[in-house]
């Protein structure tokens, strides 16, 4: 589907076991750069597990065994010499519930840049402003950067979390059901924001809302029981899926 130079992340023969449970089975797939790819499938299909393999979040879980190859711009991210902190700077992640720290709006974004060595205010200020601008939050918060982030609405908090990821200068942004705690208006706002983000970053989103995948992604991967059943251009997956199991899922007759 893509030429080599369009591929940001490439997975070959990935198997993942949680103890005796074979959670991902022989996954081979490529994620194109500067595009939004959605991972869909019923609960327990492995979509979040697959997402978490991309920045080695599964390393934190006990009894996990991962086999196969994941490369970022051709470099093996599971190679022994990989600095995982640096990897997670290149591949940032946003979670289901917005994780706003009980700090000021400014600090919520600035702390991410500090972790990666930016310490003086003169360098931090433009990073904070630019990150908040890119998520469309700047105009709403610029006059109260010192107030607590916890006073923001949930939708704004999620935008803030995306701004925090942007502040680290990532190449890939992973979104794990980023809208499941949000109201419909905030959801549509995040989806529009994803369209802005894909111009600069590679965006991969796990969503349990297939309508969201349909609306807001360029490519869709449908997973079932730890396997990829179908991978295609989103418009095709939702108008004429090739596999009958995909058809059942997108028409609401499965899962």
Partner 1 sequence: MVTPRKKFDAELAELDQSLLRMGTIAEEMLSKALVALANRDVALADETISMDDSVDALNLEIESTCIRLIATQQPAARDLRVIFAAIKISGDVERVADYVVDIAKTAKRLADRPLFKPLVDIPKLQAIVKQMLHETMDAFVSRDLTLVHKMIDDDDQVDHLYRSLYDELVDFMKKDPSVVDQAVQLLLISRYLERIADHITNIGERVFYVETGELKELHT
Q: Which residues are near partner 1 by CB under 8 A?
A: 136, 139-140, 185, 188-189, 191-193, 195-196, 211, 214-215, 234-235, 238-239
Closest CB to partner 1 among 52 and 189?
189
From 248, 249, 222, 225, select the one nearest 233 (Cα to Cα): 222
Instruction: Name the residue nearer to partner 1 (CB basis): 109 or 190.
Output: 190
Determine contact, residues 133/125, Cβ cutoff 8 Å.
no
Beta carbon of residue 151, minimum distance to partner 1 (angstroms, whole number):
19
Query: In terms of CB distance, is 240 or 244 closer to partner 1?
Result: 240
Cβ proximity to partner 1: between 135 and 145 the closer is: 135
Cβ atoms of 1 and 218 within 8 Å: the answer is: no
Q: Which of 166, 238, 231, 176 is nearest to 198 (CA)?
A: 166
At its nearest, how many Å lie between partner 1 and the CB of residue 236? 9
Q: Write out the DSSP string of 27-43.
A: EEEEEETTSEEEEE-ST
Q: Which is nearer to partner 1, 168 or 220 (CB)?
A: 220
The residue (of 125 and 196) whose beta carbon lies closer to partner 1 is 196
Minimal distance, residue 230 CB to partner 1, in Å: 15
Radius of gyration for the alpha carbons in the chain, expressed in angstroms and rounded: 18
Nearer to partner 1, 86 or 195 (CB): 195
Residues 6+ apart with CB under 8 A from 31: 7, 8, 9, 10, 37, 172, 202, 204
CB of 6 to partner 1, least distance (A): 21
Report the alpha-carbon distance of residue 38 to residue 206 in Å, rounded: 6
SS3 state of residue 70: strand
How buried is residue 131: exposed, middle or buried, by Cβ count under 10 Å (0-12/13-18/19+)? buried
Rounded to a whole number of angstroms, the minimum distance from the CB of residue 216 to partner 1 is 8
CB of 136 to partner 1, least distance (A): 4
Residue of 129, 90, 83 lying closest to 106 (CA atoms): 129
Cβ-proximal residues to 62 (8 Å cutoff; 6+ apart), any chain: none
**Smallest separation (angstroms) from partner 1 to the CB of 172:** 21
């Amino acid at each position: 589907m893509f030429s080599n130079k369009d591929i940001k992340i490439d997975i070959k023969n990935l198997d993942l076991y949680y103890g005796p449970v074979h959670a991902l089975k022989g996954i081979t797939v490529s994620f194109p750069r500067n595009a939004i790819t959605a991972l869909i499938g019923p609960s327990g299909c492995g979509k979040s597990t697959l997402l978490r393999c991309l920045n080695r979040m599964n390393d934190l879980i006990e009894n996990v065994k991962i086999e196969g190859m994941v490369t970022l711009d051709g470099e093996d991210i599971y190679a022994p010499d990989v600095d995982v902190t640096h990897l997670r700077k290149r591949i940032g992640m946003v979670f289901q519930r917005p994780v706003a720290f009980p700090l000021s709006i400014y600090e919520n974004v600035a702390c991410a840049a500090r972790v990666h060595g930016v310490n003086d205010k003169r360098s931090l200020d433009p990073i904070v402003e630019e990150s908040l601008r890119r998520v469309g939050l700047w105009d709403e918060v610029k006059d109260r950067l010192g107030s607590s982030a916890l006073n923001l609405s949930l939708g704004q908090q999620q935008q803030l979390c995306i701004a925090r990821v942007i502040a680290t200068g990532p190449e890939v942004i992973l979104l794990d059901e980023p809208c499941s705690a949000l109201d419909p208006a905030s959801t549509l706002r995040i989806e529009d924001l994803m369209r802005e983000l894909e111009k600069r970053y590679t965006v991969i989103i796990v969503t349990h809302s297939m309508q969201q995948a349909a609306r807001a992604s360029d490519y869709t991967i449908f997973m079932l029981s730890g396997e990829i059943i179908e991978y295609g251009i989103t418009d095709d997956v939702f108008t004429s899926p090739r596999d009958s199991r995909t058809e059942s899922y997108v028409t609401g007759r499965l899962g």
